[in-house]
Structure 1
Amino acid sequence: MSEICSSEEIERKRQLALQKKKEALLKSQNATNSQRKVLPLVQNNVKNTHALQNIQKPQNNICYNQKNNFSKMSIGQPILNKNNLKMKSDSKNQNRFSPISTESFFNNKTTGPICSFHMVSKTMFSVDMSRFCQKTIDVFKTIPSRSYDPKIRQWSFHLKDYDLLISSLRTSNPENTILGIPTSFLTIFKKHMNEVNENLDIDLSSIDPQLLKSLMPFQREGVCYGISKKGRCIIADDMGLGKTIQALGIAHYYKNTWPLLIVSPASVRYQWSDAIFKFLPSVSTHYVLQFSSSNDYFADAKIVITTYENLIRHCDKFRNHLFGFIILDESHVLKNEKTARFKATKDIVSAAKHVILLSGTPALSRPIELFPQISLVTKFIGLREYGSRYCAGCKRPFGYDYSGHSNMEELQILLKALCMIRRLKGDTLIELLPKKRQIVLLNPDLIKAGTEKMKDCLKQLNKTSLKPLEKQRQILEYYNESSGCRLKAVCVHVANLLEEGKKFLVFAHHQLVLNEICNLATKMKIKFIRIDGKTNSDQRKQMVDNFQEQESIQLAVLSITAANSGITLTAAQLVVFAELFWNPGILCQAEDRVHRIGQNNFVLIQYLVAKGTADDYIWPLIKKKMNVLNGVGLDSNFSFKEISTTTQSIKEQSNLDAFLSQTFTEAKGSESPIKLDDEMAETNDMDELILNICEEDFNSNDWDDLIIME
């Protein structure tokens, strides 16, 4: 048991400890200031406390009240005379204690609101305040062009008063934090502020008469827009509105700068030849060259048509031949400036005087995908400026992240003013009937979810030690397995449609699904065509023509990734997606193989969805990405509010029993939300599939935002 000390002993020990502490302090002071004189320590004596009233100590050893007197001093503290008050700035004692003033401690200093500026129309900008401030509102009221919308509580001003508002805010309240429109963007907006639409006054008489008489009014407007931009623009009209004829019209207007180079995906290269022969009969056929190998020579060709793959393989040959006008079809394939495709294209485009980009979906999922395409037609800002303003750019440990989105309304205005024209079917083709979308919930009795392989994939995905590449591999395996589990229900739905005699398209992603649908049609003795990644350009064109012209061909089995663009199949009025795809831009393109110029009937789009499978996670991801595209004006009328829902019929055809009796492994298990990459190549080889995914895709997945479909 420890010894209990008396109060006198405790006081003595306390005084001794204080004395040792002060001696150490004085020793340190003597080392830094040899001229300092230290008075004797006050011992166990309270009689000398009255002398403290006339003695000052260093400020860091005392606490003052409001009358600058000492509020309290402990016995045993060193007493310094007035001549020794000043201390050196490097003294350790000076830095040991710095009392915080009440003003700083309680943060009483007032600051103004944060005022963020952004464009809301071609001539108007708005200001968002972080909090209400009457002084700032009073400044707003002094601006002549002010406008206030009470519904959204937003102040708007004319662009001509931008500088006046900025200076007024700074003068009236210097504490305001102003986040204005960056100078590079502001210059563009001011330049186009007073621009009047005089496109219709452009003389188009130099264009081939055959093409000119084939132009619809909105297509003529597109041609004039391209000419007003000096032949450097992006035509982003909705799929099926005739971007090809508009591009040829602009190119023929500038025919003095030819030779003309047309670069397109391999699947549509021969369609360009057909369009040239149809709309530009003034160009002799021997001046049109389909470049496919190194054995082809440009010679005196006026129009050269090639693919992006050939451009990469024979980049030196194209670089050494000067093309004055270049058309880049399906330009969304150039969305990643790190790819060999973009680098080769940029190298060739840099020497051209006129460049036209064509794409019905220039951005498939993110605003950053627009920047590489914009940079090919105009040099206005850098990647960091664009990414910071419109992609919610932020710095990460390994670089900048531009996978987000911000200021979407302003970006839409910027694109229209700078280089992009976009029209939708609903705004231009009044005679084109709208398409209707429908979700078909597959019969759960026909869904064999929860196989052993799926369980194993989910078990692996739940491991926290998985690296990103390993986790991606497990996700792809789960997606592949999920497609097989819903295959029976898909075949039942397709079989019902075939028995009803409907002529329609079926899109799928996996070869397994494509194969089984073809087997079903074969057993039912239904004529069909199939287009996937293995179908070459010549075969594709022949199959499309057969489907369009022959009523006996009832079904078109198509790969989502290989046949979503470049073909016209208006002979059908029904499109069925046997599988979902996580990129909404690809889905929109696939839909419009049927819903385009030449379609005279209503079009029905059916999405087959199976609960308890990967569909629970892909559909919310599609909705999220589509909302981003809506903000930039690239929505393609993809509205989720108008989608109806129905359930699959449970009847099965008797003549399909043998086919539909295939065994599916039954197992019970719970699935957890799965993160799906936003872009994957079509292949059966898992290793090749992963290698085809770029690093950007790994860093920009939307894992945390997925919601299970209700």
Structure 2
Amino acid sequence: YERLGDFVRHAGCFAVMVIDEAHRLKEPTAAWTRHGFDIAAQVQNRYLLTGTPVLNREAELHTLLRLSGHPIGQLPLNEFCERFAGSPEFRKTLRAEIADWMLRRRKDVLPNLKGKRRQTVPVVLSQAERDEYNQIMRSDTHRFARLGALRQLLERVKVRIVADLMAELDVDDKVILFCEYQESVATLRDHCLKMGIGCVTLVGSDSPKKRQKAIDAFQQDQDCRVFIGTRSAAGTGYNLTAANYVFFLGLPWTPGLQDQAEDRAYRNGQLRLVVVKIPLAEDTIDQQLWQMLMDKRALASDLIDPEAEESSKKALAEII
């Protein structure tokens, strides 16, 4: 995507434009999105591939419709939002308008998949953890700084919960642990080493060679049972079908990011039921964020799911 600008002047030479992970071009003012518009204007046949066409709000779909050449995508963004955003009825109208333009394939077209089960796990803070949580809540720091501190605290709390969950797994089970912070990755790695559990890690600073080595070890070595990574680095683009469990220590901001991370295990080549476990700390921001994720999942379903009849971070920051 960073190199899209290199292709603008040669776009007229192409008969077909295919954009994989097209949701990365959701922001209309971003440089690579503008380059995408410039290329699309010169290519007649355009195909956009994405598992998450809507991450946060209806307006994100406008960019994809514009790139693909749908007439609705040619509307000014403010007019698009007035007509199609803000209510289930508006979203239903939009879904009807684009139904013939979009081809959706669910995982059930892959006959070998055994399914995916998502479970939440209640977490009760200790008194010391609750005191620290309340202290952060009462601090006079900027609310986004408070939000980050609270999320880091809750992720530290969940390390012991995830350790208990791992102890319940059978010897032939493998698990992916997704964290939001690198400190949690290091803590979990140290825990696995102390317990004699084979593990690998993947974080954003790892080289491509180191990443591939970790993936190969997890996929091929039966003694390597735990894959620990930051969701931002390991949550897309990798095949980790050796895992039949996925645990989240922290919650992403959108259901699309969560789904993509889960689908490192739940994808073609997976022969076992995939169980996703999500620890949620009671009486904390975890519960508000989880509700926001469910609300956004319903919004995406209104737009995309033919059977179905704003920013998380800002909203959650307002709460605290």
In the superposition, the TM-score normalised over structure 2's length comes to: 0.86
**Of the candidates 453, 457, 473, which is equivalent to residue 145 of structure 2?**
473
Aligned counterparts of 1:345 and 1:603: Cα–Cα separation in 2: 36
1:588-625 per-residue CA deviation (whole Å, 9 max, x = no partner) reads: 11111111211122111111122133212211111111
Contact kept? 1:435, 1:602, Cα under 8 Å: yes
Residues 1:341 and 2:35 aligned together: no
Confirm whether residue 458 of structure 1 aligns to residue 138 of structure 2. Answer: yes
Q: What do residues 29-70 of structure 1 show as CA deviations (whole Å, max 9, x unaligned)?
A: xxxxxxxxxxxxxxxxxxxxxxxxxxxxxxxxxxxxxxxxxx
8 Å CA contact 2:203–2:229 kept in 1: the answer is yes
Written as runs of structure 1 = structure 2, the 5 A alignment for 1:432-447 is: 432-445=113-126
Aligned 1:577-592 pairs, distance under 5 A:
577-592=248-263
Q: Partners of 2:227 and 2:171 in 1: how far apart?
A: 16
**Partner-residue secondary structure (3-state), 1:608:** strand
Question: 1:333: how far off?
Answer: 1.1
Give per-residue Cα distances to partners, 1:553-593, cap 9 Å, x unaligned.
11111222222221111112111112222311111111111
Match of 2:194 in 1: 523
CA contact (8 A) 1:449 1:485 kept: no
Q: 1:158-237 counterparts in 2 under 5 A? A: none
The question of 1:513 aligning with 2:184 is answered: yes
Contact kept, 8 Å, 1:448 with 1:486, in 2: the verdict is no
What does 1:46-61 align with in structure 2 at a 5 Å threshold? none
1:607 pairs with 2:278? yes
Local SS of the residue matching 2:261: helix
Q: Where does residue 562 of structure 1 map in the other structure?
A: 233
Distance 1:572 1:514 in 2: 17
CA contact (8 A) 2:8 2:39 kept: yes
Q: Residue 408 of structure 1 aligns with which residue?
A: 91
Whether 1:365 and 2:56 are equivalent positions in the alignment is: yes
Distance in structure 2 (CA, Å) of the matches to 1:411 and 1:702: 28
678 and 342 in structure 1: CA distance in 2 versus 1, 3 angstrom threshold: farther
Residues 116, 276 of structure 2: 8 Å contact kept: yes
Which residue identity does 2:52 align to in structure 1?
Answer: T
> Which is helix-richer, 1 or 2?
2
Equivalent-residue separation in structure 2 for 1:449 and 1:369 (angstroms): 38
Q: Is 1:351 paired with 2:30?
A: no
SS at match of 1:473: helix
Which segments of 5 or more consecutive residues in structure 2 lack a partner in the other structure?
none
SS at match of 2:119: strand
Question: Normalization by structure 1: what TM-score?
Answer: 0.41
SS of residue matched to 1:320: helix
2:215 — aligned with what?
Answer: 544
Q: Structure 2 vs 1, CA of residues 559 and 436 (structure 1 numbering), >3 Å: closer, same or farther?
A: same
CA contact (8 A) 1:442 1:608 kept: yes
In 1, the alpha carbon distance for the partners of 2:228 and 2:128 equals 22
> Against the structure 1 CA distance between its residues 499 and 450, is the aligned structure 2 distance closer, same or farther, given a 3 Å change threshold?
farther
**2 CA distance for matches of 1:539 and 1:310?**
24
The aligned residue for residue 422 of structure 1 is 104
Distance 1:373 1:539, change over 3 A: farther
For residue 443 of structure 1, report the CA deviation from its aligned partner. Answer: 4.9
1:447/1:610 contact within 8 Å kept:
no
Q: Computing the radius of gyration over CA atoms, which structure comes out larger, 1 or 2?
A: 1
Q: Please state if 1:385 is matched with 2:79.
A: yes
Question: How many residue pairs get matched?
Answer: 313
CA distance in 2, matches of 1:482, 1:438: 18
What is the root-mean-square deviation in Å for CA atoms of aligned residues? 2.9
Q: String of CA shifts for 1:283-330, please: whole Å, max 9, x gaps.
A: xxxxxxxxxxxxxxxxxxxxxxxxx1233xxx2x42232341222111
Structure-2 change in CA distance of 1:543 and 1:380 (3 Å): same
CA contact (8 A) 1:454 1:478 kept: no
Distance 1:413 1:573 in 2: 37
Alpha-carbon distance in 1 for matches of 2:134, 2:40: 47
Shift of 1:385: 2.7
Cα shift at 1:431: 4.0
The structural deviation recorded for 1:501 is: 5.6
Shift of 1:500: 5.0
The equivalent of 1:571 in structure 2 is 242
Deviations 1:120-175 (A, max 9, x none): xxxxxxxxxxxxxxxxxxxxxxxxxxxxxxxxxxxxxxxxxxxxxxxxxxxxxxxx
CA distance in 1, matches of 2:224, 2:216: 11
**Mapping for residues 219-298 of structure 1, pairs under 5 Å:** none
Q: Offset at 1:546?
A: 2.8
State the distance in 2 between where 1:567 and 1:454 align.
Answer: 38
Contact map agreement 1:527 1:555 (CA 8 A) in 2: yes
Structure 2 residue identity aligned to 1:599: Q
Aligned with residue 678 of structure 1, among 297, 312, 317:
312
Aligned AA (1:320):
R
Give 1:498 shift: 6.4
CA contact (8 A) 2:125 2:157 kept: no
Identity of aligned residues (%): 25
**Residues 431-467 of structure 1, C-alpha deviations (whole Å, 9 max, x = no match):** 422211111223544972221x752443437xxxxxx
Q: Give the Cα–Cα distance (whole angstroms) in 2 for the partners of residues 550 and 459 of structure 1.
A: 47
Q: How does 1:74-89 map to 2 (within 5 A)?
A: none
| SS in structure 2 at match of 1:423 | coil
User: For residues 597 and 514 of structure 1, do their structure 2 counterparts lie closer, same or farther at Cα, with a shift above 3 Å needed?
Assistant: same
- Give the equivalent residue in structure 1 for 2:8: 319
1:629 aligns with 2:303: no
Distance 1:414 1:447, change over 3 A: farther
Structure 1 residue aligned with 2:22, among 331, 355, 380?
331
Q: Secondary structure at the match of 1:450?
A: helix
